[in-house]
Amino acid sequence: MTDTSSTSLGEAVARAAPAPIASRIRGLSDRSMAWLFITPAIALLLAVNIFPLIWAIYLSFTNFRANRPNAALENVGLSNYSRVLNDPNTWQAMQTTAHFVFWTILLQTLIGFSLAYLIDRKFRGHAFWTTIILVPMMLSPAVVGNFWRFLYQPQIGLFNHIVSFLTGIPPSSFEMLGSVRLSPWAIIIVDTWMWTPYVMLICLAGLRSIPDYIYEAAEVDRASLWRQFWSITLPMALPFIMLAILFRGIENFKMFDMVTLLTGGGPGSTTEVASITLKREAFESWRTGRASAFAIILFVAVFGLANIYVKALNKVKQR
Amino acid sequence: MAEVILQGINKNFGETPAVSDLDLVIADGECVVLLGPTGAGKTTTLRLIAGLERPDHGRILIGGYDVAKEAPAGRDVAFVFQQYSLYPHLSVYDNLAFPLRSPARRLDKNEIDRRVREVARMVRIDHKLDNRSTRLSGGEMQRVAIGRALVRRPAIYLMDEPLSSLDAKLRADLRLELKRIQKELGSTLLYVTHDQIEAMTMADRIGILTEGRLAQIGTPREIYSNPANVHVAARLGQPHINLFPANLLPDSKIPAGTQTIGARTEHLDITLGGHVNAHVAWVEHLGDQNHLHIRLGDCKLTTLANPRLPVKPGDPIGLALRNPLYFGADGNRVV
């Protein structure tokens, strides 16, 4: 086919059919249009997510201090990492975090699943109660932190007065947020209060996904309620429960806002979870390089644990 | 195994009656098939016997005992559901062993193992005992579900369209298998279906349900050749029975009060080259036989014909009745 004929054919087609969008903007193919549309989003992602991550990795190998931006930058190799890992404060913070994560997950899973199990009975007004139970989850952590500070107030706080009413211990004889022994539990209580509904919601989805006829079959097969629970309900809801644990675990590993508002890491460093140590290192001691190294270590730890966990989750799901 | 008796059973869901005044006796070792269209109350009847629903009125006796107050577990019934109701996280073996491991039964391990393997052979799933139940094909899953019912020796087996979700070939195989197993075990079986071939081949007696009422119960032969009313006649026969007004074909033997005539293939005689009163509208070739669509006045009839019968669309034919079924204005048989 000659060049002229192909041009005239092309023109004829162009006249006959509505022109594709790309040919209206000269010189742009559909593919480049696609790129044009997604580039701003990618650029934004690179600027606020990927670049800072890479920059933090770079800084973790230097002696950079953010309050002295003009000082000479020196490459210190792995010494930031070795210092972080050899610092007893780091391990203290890690232990505090682990304690916090373990107990919040345990309590939230137990209470959340129990609530879901009850709500799933579909009693009268269950929709109303579901909504009421979900309220704490919808509040902002800043609001929750602030008003629990009032609730925990020894003289006027409702919490102390309720404990006093139930046990007879005088309300001003203990301070939930000021005591070394009680303050970790004060935070665990608030986090459990706020996030149990979330776990409940996911568990409820799991329970609702189990078809009724499996229970009916089990009933005809003479399985007791107890056996139905252990051999049907729990195994079939397990992937959902594990998912809830994953979400809560990741979230609580980096818990910052509520702890800051309630105790600020105190008294002393009894509630100083990893993210608070990190913040002190970065913006109070201004050892930016070292803080970056700590952040990278945390990131790798969470990422690694989450990956192992997701593998286990997939195994459960495939059964 | 035991006799099961339903007396005056009524069950409503809200305002809608599901089962009305149902009386049914299933003898020990008998296979009764309930046949009826969707919503006729077949499944509800099974669920009432199993105890998954409670009747509003009436009595249910299993082996002579009134089980009205018993929970499903106390009734000694086995149920096969329409869906594959397997325990998805358990292996085939554990699914089959599940009913036997109930603490109420107290069977020892060897006995459980023996029965599971025996039943697995019976439903031909013994090569997949270690598979997860979710890794089976539809047919295999339903075999396991049937096996899980068979592994027990209950008073009665209740099966709710167990074959309806399978493909035609497998359905035919399992149908034969089920009948063989039922005969072998001498078990009492109440089987629900809307497939007339399943009903005809498996049943000792067929019960026809329409709108929650038992329209007729009898042997397949009786139900087929001696239907009590139009509804029952319409449930059986392939092609569907032809129903047309009594005055359409002159027949001296029509009894008084007949409004509708029902004619299946065996009630129609076709003659060629003689007296003409109908025309061939269409011929469907099925291979071993033909479906003949006939226009008779304003009515269309369908009948089976020998494929060698030399007719084509438009041909005039003579149509005569041979002992058809006569129905009155209320739909009941006129004899």
Does the CB of A315 have a partner CB in chain B at under 8 Å? no
**Sign of the C-alpha dihedral, residues A161, A163, A169, A174?**
negative
Of the residues B218, B235, B252, the one at which a domain ends: B235
Question: What pLDDT band is residue B85 in, cutting at 50, 70 and 90?
Answer: confident
Residues of A in contact with B103 (CB under 8 A): 224, 227
Res A44: pLDDT: 95
Instruction: Give phi and psi for A179, each to the nearest 5.
Output: -95, 140
CA dihedral A180, A186, A187, A192 (to 10 degrees): 150
Q: In this structure, are strands B31-35 and B205-210 parallel, antiparallel, or unpaired?
A: parallel
A9 pLDDT more than 60? no
Please list, in sequence order, all residues whose beta carbon lies within 8 angstroms of the beta carbon of residue A80, skipping any fewer than 6 positions away: A60, A61, A289, A290, A292, A293
A146 pLDDT more than 80? yes
Does the CB of A220 have a partner CB in chain B at under 8 Å? yes
Residue B187 CA to residue B55 CA, distance in Å, equals 25
Residues B190 and B255 reside in one and the same domain: no
Query: Does the distance separating the beta carbons of B99 and A221 come in below 8 Å?
Result: yes
How far apart are the CA of A241 and the nearest CA of chain B, in angstroms? 16
Which residue pairs, CB below 8 angstroms and at least 24 apart, start in B245-248? B245/B299, B246/B326, B248/B296, B248/B297, B248/B299
How far apart are the CA of B95 and the nearest CA of chain A, in angstroms? 10
Residues B264 and B204 reside in one and the same domain: no
How do residues B234-287 score in pLDDT, each as one tens digit?
888 888 898 888 877 776 678 878 888 888 888 888 888 888 888 899 999 888
Comparing CB atoms, the residue among B81, B87, B105 nearest residue A232 is B87
A15 pLDDT more than 70? no
Residues B229 and B274 reside in one and the same domain: no
Task: Please give the share of chain A, as a percent, with pLDDT higher than 70.
Answer: 92
Res A11: pLDDT: 55
User: Which letter does DSSP use for residue A46 in this model?
Assistant: I
Residues B72 and B201 reside in one and the same domain: yes
Residues of B in contact with A213 (CB under 8 A): 81, 83, 85
Res A20: pLDDT: 58
How do residues B289-331 score in pLDDT, each as one tens digit?
889 999 888 888 899 988 888 888 888 888 888 888 889 888 8
A194 pLDDT more than 90? yes
Please list, in sequence order, all residues whose beta carbon lies within 8 angstroms of the beta carbon of residue B185, skipping any fewer than 6 positions away: B150, B153
pLDDT: is A7 or A233 the higher one? A233
Closest-CA residue in chain A for B74? Answer: A222
Closest-CA residue in chain A for B151? Answer: A221
Res B251: pLDDT: 66
How do residues A157-168 score in pLDDT, each as one tens digit?
899 899 989 988
Residues B152 and B254 reside in one and the same domain: no
In this structure, are residues B9 and B207 in contact, taking their beta carbons and an 8 Å threshold?
no
Residue B39 CA to residue B19 CA, distance in Å, equals 10
Question: What pLDDT band is residue A241 in, cutting at 50, 70 and 90?
Answer: very high
In a domain, B332, yes or no: no
- DSSP string across B3-34: -EEEEEEEEEETTEEEEEEEEEEE-TT-EEEE
Of the residues A215, A216, A222, the best mutation for testing chain B's interface (the one with the most B CB atoms within 10 Å of its CB) is A222
Res A2: pLDDT: 41
Res A21: pLDDT: 58
B56 pLDDT more than 80? yes
Res A307: pLDDT: 93
How far apart are the CA of A201 and the nearest CA of chain B, in angstroms? 23
Query: Does the distance separating the beta carbons of A221 and B83 come in below 8 Å?
Result: no
Which range, of A129-133, A291-295, B57-61, B65-69, averages the lowest pLDDT?
A: B65-69
Tell me what percent of chain B is helix, strand and coil, each rounded to the nearest 5: 30, 30, 40
A7 pLDDT more than 70? no
Instruction: Give phi and psi for B111, each to the nearest 5.
Output: -65, -45
Closest-CA residue in chain B for A315? Answer: B89
Of the residues A220, A228, A238, the best mutation for testing chain B's interface (the one with the most B CB atoms within 10 Å of its CB) is A220
A40 pLDDT more than 90? yes
Q: What is the mean pLDDT of chain A?
A: 86
The ipTM (two decimal places) reads: 0.79
Does the CB of A13 have a partner CB in chain B at under 8 Å? no
Query: Once rounded to an integer, what is the mean pLDDT over residues B80-91?
Result: 86
Counting every residue, how long is chain A? 319
Question: What pLDDT band is residue A4 in, cutting at 50, 70 and 90?
Answer: very low
Residues B227 and B248 reside in one and the same domain: no
How far apart are the CA of A202 and the nearest CA of chain B, in angstroms? 20
Q: Outline where chain A has alpha helix (H).
A: 3-16, 21-24, 30-45, 51-59, 79-86, 88-119, 126-138, 141-151, 158-167, 183-208, 212-220, 225-228, 234-253, 257-262, 274-283, 288-318
Residues B17 and B60 reside in one and the same domain: yes
Residues B147 and B256 reside in one and the same domain: no
How do residues A304-313 score in pLDDT, each as one tens digit?
999 999 999 9
How far apart are the CA of A239 and the nearest CA of chain B, in angstroms? 12
In a domain, B55, yes or no: yes
A223 pLDDT more than 90? no
How do residues B147-187 score in pLDDT, each as one tens digit?
898 888 888 999 999 888 778 888 888 888 888 888 888 88
Burial class for A71, CB neighbours closer than 10 Å (0-12, 13-18, 19+)? exposed
Closest-CA residue in chain A for B133? Answer: A319
Comparing CB atoms, the residue among A211, A216, A221 nearest residue B98 is A221
A225 pLDDT more than 80? yes
Residues of B in contact with A218 (CB under 8 A): 87, 98
Query: Once rounded to an integer, what is the mean pLDDT over residues A3-23?
Result: 52
Of the residues B235, B259, B293, the one at which a domain ends: B235
In a domain, B162, yes or no: yes
How far apart are the CA of A237 and the nearest CA of chain B, in angstroms? 11
How far apart are the CA of A108 and the nearest CA of chain B, in angstroms? 25
pLDDT: is B251 or A291 the higher one? A291
Residues B133 and B247 reside in one and the same domain: no
CATH number for the domain spanning B206: value is 3.40.50.300
Question: What pLDDT band is residue A113 in, cutting at 50, 70 and 90?
Answer: very high
B14 pLDDT more than 80? yes
CATH number for the domain spanning B265: value is 2.40.50.140
Res A6: pLDDT: 47
Residue A159 CA to residue B223 CA, distance in Å, equals 76
Residues of B in contact with A211 (CB under 8 A): 83, 85
Task: Please give the share of chain A, as a percent, with pLDDT higher than 90.
Answer: 39
Query: Once rounded to an integer, what is the mean pLDDT over residues B74-86?
Result: 87
Question: What pLDDT band is residue B1 in, cutting at 50, 70 and 90?
Answer: low
The pTM assigned to this predicted structure is: 0.77
In a domain, B333, yes or no: no
Query: Does the distance separating the beta carbons of B87 and A224 come in below 8 Å?
Result: no
In this structure, are residues B210 and B229 in contact, taking their beta carbons and an 8 Å threshold?
no
Query: Does the distance separating the beta carbons of A231 and B90 come in below 8 Å?
Result: yes
In a domain, B335, yes or no: no
Query: Does the distance separating the beta carbons of A216 and B52 come in below 8 Å?
Result: yes
What are the structural domains of chain A? Answer: 3-59 (no CATH), 80-318 (1.10.3720.10)
Residues B225 and B290 reside in one and the same domain: no
Query: Does the distance separating the beta carbons of B98 and A223 come in below 8 Å?
Result: yes
B45 pLDDT more than 80? yes
Query: Does the distance separating the beta carbons of B89 and A221 come in below 8 Å?
Result: no
Query: Does the distance separating the beta carbons of A213 and B104 come in below 8 Å?
Result: no
Comparing CB atoms, the residue among B73, B89, B90 nearest residue A222 is B73
Query: Does the distance separating the beta carbons of A232 and B77 come in below 8 Å?
Result: no
How do residues A266-286 score in pLDDT, each as one tens digit?
788 888 888 888 888 888 888
Question: What pLDDT band is residue A42 in, cutting at 50, 70 and 90?
Answer: very high
Closest-CA residue in chain B for A218? Answer: B99
A58, A222, B96, B290 from B104: Cα distances, Å: 67, 7, 16, 57
Of the residues B235, B270, B303, the one at which a domain ends: B235
Query: Once rounded to an integer, what is the mean pLDDT over residues B17-21?
Result: 89
In a domain, B334, yes or no: no
Task: Please give the share of chain B, as a percent, with pLDDT higher than 70.
Answer: 98
Of the residues B48, B92, B95, B98, the best mutation for testing chain A's interface (the one with the most A CB atoms within 10 Å of its CB) is B98
B192 pLDDT more than 50? yes
Residues B141 and B161 reside in one and the same domain: yes
How far apart are the CA of B177 and the nearest CA of chain A, in angstroms? 22
Which residues span the domain enclosing B63?
Answer: 4-235
Instruction: Give phi and psi for B76, each to the nearest 5.
Output: 60, 50
B25 pLDDT more than 70? yes
The domain tally of chain B equals 2
How far apart are the CA of B56 and the nearest CA of chain A, in angstroms? 20
Query: Does the distance separating the beta carbons of B71 and A231 come in below 8 Å?
Result: no
Residues B170 and B191 reside in one and the same domain: yes
How do residues A43-71 score in pLDDT, each as one tens digit?
999 999 999 999 999 988 988 888 888 87
Task: Note which residues in 222-241 of chain A have CB less than 8 A from chain B.
Answer: 222-224, 227, 231-232, 235-236
